[in-house]
């Protein structure tokens, strides 16, 4: 069976869709993955992957005409699935030659996003047996090094980001126990460099990987954590850490933690406040206080890291 899958745009959503995709993979002979560069890069290691097609139709102008051309070039499918619900996604499915077509519908139901994607696949294909395990096909070798990896970025917007000086304070607290690494995209280079500078001023060396990793390398770095902690905002790399089941502490402010928290990760701690303005779901704080992150102190995070370490015995 030849299958077409349009992936979610954001890296975190693409990871959260991996359990649903894994249930599809078991029925497919070959899969064409279509989506953003990050999403395609995540899935090109899937053993059923025929090819990945990066969606650059927006950049070329005449988007819908480009989608028509692409649909014709891709040929025939037995099944076409879109994990997006946009008008463009519906149009693309309409243009594809496929025996069966299913498009994800957004829901206000208070379920974890992983479960929403699983339910979509289960109901569309009438599956009786279903797996709920996230799956990334890049192999990560566990490191014996005690690592504290900081992930200060969040592509969605500044409202989700904890402060560079807060990350630095946590790293300085554990400087004698952990080696420090920093992860981030090219767009987050300034934030990561700021943390590196603050650590250097206090005599702490770190490995700043911001802008130096593709998705494969990022997965390998995060998945290598064994006796260590991944400290992260609510972000795509947070979900990668959850997929590899590494110990992690996740910082939540304006987003719905019940829907996008680390999936079924027993080695994860969520640190958040309980303010009236939460969750606003905005990219930038609408009331200009950013209290949900500003009042989430380094001391609170240090306490949660200590609690997690005590439970895990390192």
Phi, psi (deg, nearest 5) at residue 128: -90, -45
| Distance from C-alpha of 108 to C-alpha of 115, rounded to nearest angstrom | 13
Calculate ∠ Cα 10-171-237, nearest 5°.
15
For position 107, what pLDDT does the model report? Answer: 85
pLDDT of residue 61: 77
Q: Which residue, chain included where needed, has tokens 């109901």?
A: 123
What's residue 264's pLDDT? 83
What is each CA distance from 36 to 44, 79, 89, 202, 213, in whole angstroms?
A: 12, 20, 13, 39, 17
Structure tokens of 167? 């990350």
Per-residue pLDDT at 59: 77
What is the pLDDT of the chain when averaged over all its residues?
Answer: 95
* Pick from 216, 203, 199, 255: nearest CA to 232: 255
Task: Give counts: helices (H), strands (E), the chain.
Answer: 13, 11
pLDDT value, residue 58? 78
What is this structure's pTM? 0.95
User: Is pLDDT above 90 for 286?
Assistant: yes
For the chain, how long is the longest CA-to-CA vector? 62
Write out the H or E segment, with its range, that includes residue 209.
none
Q: How many CB atoms lie within 10 A of CB 80?
A: 26
pLDDT tops 80 at residue 288: yes
Q: What is the pLDDT of residues 226-246, one digit of tens each?
A: 999 999 999 999 999 999 999
- The pLDDT, as a whole number, for residue 151 is 98
Residue 302 in this model has a pLDDT that exceeds 80: yes
pLDDT for 155 = 78
What local confidence, expressed as pLDDT, does residue 26 receive? 86
- Write the pLDDT tens digit of every residue in 132-174: 999 999 999 999 999 999 999 987 788 999 999 999 999 999 9
d(CA 70, CA 74): 6
H or E element in which residue 9 lies: none
The pLDDT value recorded for residue 135 is 96
Give the closest residue to 260 by CA, choosing from 18, 5, 16: 16
Task: Please give the average per-residue pLDDT across 61-65, as a whole number.
Answer: 88
Nearest to 19 by CA among 93, 126, 116, 105: 116
d(CA 69, CA 96): 10
Predicted pLDDT of residue 266: 80
């Amino acid at each position: 069976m030849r299958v077409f899958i349009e992936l979610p745009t954001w890296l975190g959503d693409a990871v959260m869709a991996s359990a649903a995709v894994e249930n599809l993979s078991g029925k497919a002979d070959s899969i064409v993955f279509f989506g953003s560069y990050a999403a395609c890069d995540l899935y090109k290691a899937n053993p059923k992957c025929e090819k990945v097609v990066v969606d650059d139709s927006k950049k070329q102008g005449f988007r819908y005409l480009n989608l028509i051309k692409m649909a014709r070039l891709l040929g025939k499918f037995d099944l076409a699935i879109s994990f997006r619900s946009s008008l463009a996604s519906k149009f693309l499915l309409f243009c594809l030659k496929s025996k069966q077509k299913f498009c994800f519908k957004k829901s206000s139901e208070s379920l974890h996003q992983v479960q929403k994607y699983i339910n979509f696949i289960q109901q569309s294909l009438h599956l009786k047996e279903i797996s709920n395990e996230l799956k990334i096909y890049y192999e990560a070798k566990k490191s014996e090094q005690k690592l504290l990896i900081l992930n200060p970025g969040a592509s969605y917007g500044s409202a989700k980001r904890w402060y560079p000086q807060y990350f630095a304070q946590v790293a300085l607290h554990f400087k004698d126990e952990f080696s420090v690494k920093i992860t981030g995209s090219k767009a987050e280079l300034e934030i990561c460099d700021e943390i590196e500078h603050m650590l250097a001023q206090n005599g702490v060396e770190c490995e700043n990987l911001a802008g130096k990793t593709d998705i494969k390398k990022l997965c390998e770095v995060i998945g290598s954590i064994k006796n260590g902690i991944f400290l992260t905002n609510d972000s795509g790399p947070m979900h990668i850490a959850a997929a590899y089941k590494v110990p992690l502490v996740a910082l939540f402010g304006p987003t719905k933690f019940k829907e996008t928290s680390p999936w079924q990760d027993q080695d994860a701690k969520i640190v958040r406040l309980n303010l009236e303005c939460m969750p606003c779901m905005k990219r930038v704080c609408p009331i200009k206080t950013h209290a949900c992150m500003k009042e989430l102190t380094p001391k609170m995070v240090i306490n949660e890291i200590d609690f997690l370490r005590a439970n895990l015995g390192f």
